[in-house]
Structure 1
Amino acid sequence: MTEVRCSDAARARCDVALGTAPPAMRWLLVEQDGGWLPDTRSSVQAPEAALALLDAALAQAKARLQLIRRPGRDADAEEAPSGHLGRGASFEHALAAGAPTEDRDDRQRRWCVIDARLGVEVWGVRDADGGWGGALEALADPLAAGAVRAAGVLLVCCHGRHDACCALRGRPVAGVLATQWPAETWETSHLGGDRFAANLAVLPDGVLYGYVSAESAVKLVRDHQAGRPDAAHVRGIVGRDPDEQAALLAAAPLLDEKPWDRRLTTARVAPGPAWRVVVRMGERRVEVRGHDRLTEPARLTCGASNPRSALVPVVDAARLV
């Protein structure tokens, strides 16, 4: 009997991906070549003492850990930084941004702290003994001195040992994006929502896309750069609750703004199954009304042993007030 992959089943069910972006505003990207274990944290190669410090720093900053590696690796070999999203790779830009460059011998040991709330980033290199080389200080709040306006990264989940769909659907997407944005594109570890693979996080904008294909990926990123997110693929905006994510997507066109604009604020007027969120841009306001819907139980990941339901936000109405 042929096994049905979770991403195939989700497409057949037309599972709603909206409202599923993770809550973290600050992300720590750790470059690590080779295969990853099923769990991101367990995959980090560092001494136990360094891992304990990492755990404490992530918890204090409420930050998210992502492993990154360059696409197109041969078996367990690959390479890896950064340019400017939409402007191509630039050695000079990488130096100006403080990012270690491809020409240095510190490949595979780089890290980046990127803040979606502030739109800034700090790059560095881990110590040769496995220490963090300033990464934990950069995680501290406020962001460490030396942060610069974020150049932008495209993170495609390709964490096949976590869920096969992530690799099967993610690697072709990462490969295609790398032909257009080689400096910005990375394979990354688990982003959540395996059934929505391929999943793509665009930082520092903090937008998570799902159901991405190799055929749709380049247009999707170009539309994002132009401020026209494809609603069919948007999973949400990081750092927001599910109803707020849905409200931002509904309100942005009425305000003629990008839903990830950092000037947009949200206020939950009425929480719960029937919710109401007010989205504000200066003096302009949009009231968004919606409700939460419980889906029918289903196998949400390839490795799931039991069916589970998911709670999804549904927008009923949005109006300027």
Structure 2
Amino acid sequence: MTAAARFFCADAALERGDTLAGTAPYGTVWVLIEYRGGWPSNGFDGLDLAPEIKGLVFGAAQKVRARILLIRRHGRLLPGDGPRRWAVLRHGADGAGRQVWGTWSRDQDLTGVVPALDAPGEPGHPPVVLVCAHGLHDVCCAVRGRPVGRALSERWPHLVWECTHVGGDRFAANVVVLPDGVYYGGLAADSAVPTVEEHLADRVHADHLRGYTDLFPPQQAAVAAVLRSAGPAGRHAYTVESTVRDDDLWRIRLTGRPPRAAAFDVEVRARRTPPYRLTCHGTAPSSARTYEVTSLRAL
């Protein structure tokens, strides 16, 4: 009798045709901490740091709803290969991206994150491209993420980092561009490079787009639908003008910058999927919330 085939959540999601659009977690501030050793399954929380330092950084991040991610270069530099880096990245309400970077060699050095979270940060830094490769959190993140991390690192060695869990294991490989706050999913080595290349040229495509992190899920789905209909556009080519909710139905108006159409009216309906096994480690089936575009009209 043969053993049952191993379950991979990303394979199952592809077979089901799970919807990507509308699945990016909300957020506008991120803390990145370079850690070259093995990552605990719970990321920053599991690091062997001085408890008072860890508590200080976590508390400051929590106050501004910042997400803390561990990062490392693909191929893992050894612990002694120069100082490790930390960063605070922020996506402003005006769409501008700002960053603060520092280095650390002792736990105490990470306290620099705290004032950086209160500072506006500096514009003009190159974007940061993160690839989730957190295998202890979910197997698919390593199996699918590391080949993507390798391909992107070979193309943009100074922009790309592997990172801990970003959410949406079943959409591996996941790539996040910061501080733009753009999530892409379902990527492979051959699709990741052109996707990121287009993004860096300020042309966001609907294919592989999970969403913009400063928007809520139905708004993310509306933007993806407009990009699919009207073609790729810049990260800030469309603005959410209004959002009206009626139970599980959202009516969203997007306004475009010239030469785009003046506006689009998009209707999005939320639905629950049947229960599925959504992660590699989770054994109990769970239902996911999806956002289906039921109407799109250019004005």
Q: TM-score, normalised by structure 1?
A: 0.83
Alignment partner of 1:287 is 2:265: yes
Q: Which amino acid aligns with 2:240?
A: T
- Aligned equivalents of 1:148 and 1:242: distance in 2? 27
User: Hey, what's the Cα distance between the residues in 2 that align with 1:272 and 1:170?
Assistant: 37
Query: Does residue 61 of the first structure (1) align with residue 69 of the second (2)?
Result: no
Counterpart Cα distance in 1 of 2:153 and 2:257? 38
Q: Which residue of 2 aligns with 1:122?
A: 100
Aligned to 2:244: 269
On the 8 A contact 2:37/2:79 being kept in 1, the answer is: no
Partner of 2:190: 215
One of 24, 27, 30 as aligned partner of 2:27 = 24
Secondary structure of 1:56 counterpart? helix
Q: How does 1:249-268 map to 2 (within 5 A)?
A: 249-252=224-227, 258=233, 260-261=235-236, 264-268=239-243
* Contact 1:7 1:194 (C-alpha < 8 Å) held by counterparts: yes
Among residues 109, 118, 125, which one is paired with 1:150 in the alignment? 125
Give the superposition deviation at 1:123.
0.6
Q: Report the 3-state secondary structure (helix = DSSP H, G, I; strand = E; otherwise coil) of the residue aligned with 1:149.
A: coil
Indicate which of 19, 40, 48 corresponds to 1:37.
40
Does the CA contact (< 8 Å) of 2:238 and 2:256 recur in 1?
A: yes
Classify the secondary structure of the residue corresponding to 2:189: coil
TM-aligned CA deviation for residue 22 of structure 1: 1.4
Q: Is the Cα–Cα contact under 8 Å of residues 265 and 281 in structure 1 kept in the other structure?
A: no
Root-mean-square deviation (CA, aligned residues, Å) is 2.3
Q: CA deviation at 1:153?
A: 1.1
- Using the TM superposition, give the Cα deviation of residue 258 of structure 1 relative to its aligned residue in structure 2, in angstroms: 3.0
Whether the 8 Å CA contact 2:57–2:111 is kept in 1: the answer is no
- CA offset at residue 212 of structure 1? 0.4
Q: Distance in 1 between matches of 2:123 and 2:242?
A: 29
| Other structure's SS at 1:264 match | strand
Separation in 2, partners of 1:237, 1:139: 21
> Residue in 2 aligned with 1:91?
none
Distance of aligned partners of 1:129 and 1:303 in 2 relative to their CA distance in 1, 3 Å threshold? closer
Q: How many residues align?
A: 290
Contact 1:254–1:320 (Cα < 8 Å) also in 2: no
8 A Cα contact 2:237 2:256, kept in partner: no
Any unmatched runs of 5+ in structure 1?
81-101
Q: C-alpha displacement at 1:138, in angstroms?
A: 1.2
Normalising by structure 2, report the TM-score: 0.89
Provide structure 2 residue ranges, at least 5 long, that are not aligned to the other structure: none
1:72 pairs, out of 72, 75, 79, with 75
Going from structure 1 to structure 2, the CA distance change for 1:54 and 1:272 (only over 3 Å counts) comes to: farther
Who is 1:319 aligned against?
297
After TM superposition, the structure 1 = structure 2 runs for residues 93-242 of structure 1, keeping only pairs within 5 Å, are 105-106=82-83, 108=84, 110-117=85-92, 118-126=96-104, 128-140=106-118, 143-144=120-121, 147-242=122-217
The aligned residue for residue 5 of structure 2 is: 2
Task: State the percentage of identical aligned residues.
Answer: 37
Further displaced range: 174-183 or 219-228: 219-228
* Deviation (angstroms), 1:28: 0.7
Q: CA distance change for structure 1 residues 17 and 257 in 2, over 3 Å: closer, same or farther?
A: closer
Amino acid aligned to 2:297: R
Task: Measure how far apart 1:230 and its partner are.
Answer: 3.4
Using the alignment, how far apart are the partners of 2:170 and 2:229 within structure 1? Answer: 31
User: Counterpart amino acid of 1:143?
Assistant: P
- Aligned-partner Cα distance in 2 for 1:280–1:78: 48
Identify if the C-alpha distance between structure 1 residues 263 and 18 changes in structure 2 by more than 3 Å, giving closer, same or farther: closer
One-letter identity of the residue aligned with 1:125:
T
User: In the alignment, residue 9 of structure 2 is paired with which amino acid?
Assistant: C
Q: Could you tell me how far 1:133 is from its partner in structure 2?
A: 4.5
Code of the aligned partner of 2:271: R
